[in-house]
Structure formats: structure tokens, C-alpha cells
Amino acid sequence: MANTKSAQKRIRANERRHLRNKSYRSRVKTLIKKAEQTIFAGKPDAAAVRDAMSTLDKAAVKGIIHKNNAARRKSRLAKKLNHAQNAA
């Protein structure tokens, strides 16, 4: 247990940040999953991929995920989309 008022405040602030980051990280994963489902279903939807990439960028800017992590995920998603469109 924290002994000082400032330490107690940091615990409260960290918990609020943790909850906000957790929900945003979940939203990112959901949008990526939806984009991949459209790609693997044989009907690649560029709008779904664009939404997922946009959300990844926003998460990186807010510091929820690292910028290289966002770039790597976007790259993999784009590669899957391009491969599906070339195959069709």
C-alpha cells in the first residue's frame, strides 16, 4: 500500500489510464480481426483495412502501443490485402 498522498494519487491515475488503454487496445484488435476476416472471406474490403490502420495510428500517437508495433501491424495487414487482391 502506498504511504504518501502523491503515491496514492499515482495509483488512481495509473488505474484510470490502464482502463482507457485496455479498451483502446481491444478496439484495435477487433478492427484488425474484422479487416482480416473480410480479406480471408474472399471479399477484401479496403475500407475495413483503412479503419484498422487509422485506429493503429491513433493508438501509436496516444502512446497506447509503440509506433513500430503499429507500423509492423499495418505492414502485415497491407501485405495480406495486396496478396488477396492480386490473387483475385
Read off the pLDDT of residues 7-55 as tens digits, 9 standing for 90 and up. Answer: 999 999 999 999 999 999 999 999 999 999 999 998 888 999 999 999 9
- The SS3 call for residue 55 is helix
pLDDT category, 82, cuts 50, 70, 90?
very high
Q: Which of 54, 15, 14, 9 is nearest to 35 (CA)?
A: 54
Q: pTM score, two decimals?
A: 0.85
Query: Torsions phi, psi of 25, nearest 5?
Result: -65, -40
pLDDT at 10: 96
Q: Are 39 and 49 in contact (CB under 8 A)?
A: yes
DSSP state of 41: T
pLDDT at 88 over 90: no
* The three three-digit cell numbers of residue 1, written as one number: 500500500
Q: Are 31 and 73 in contact (CB under 8 A)?
A: no
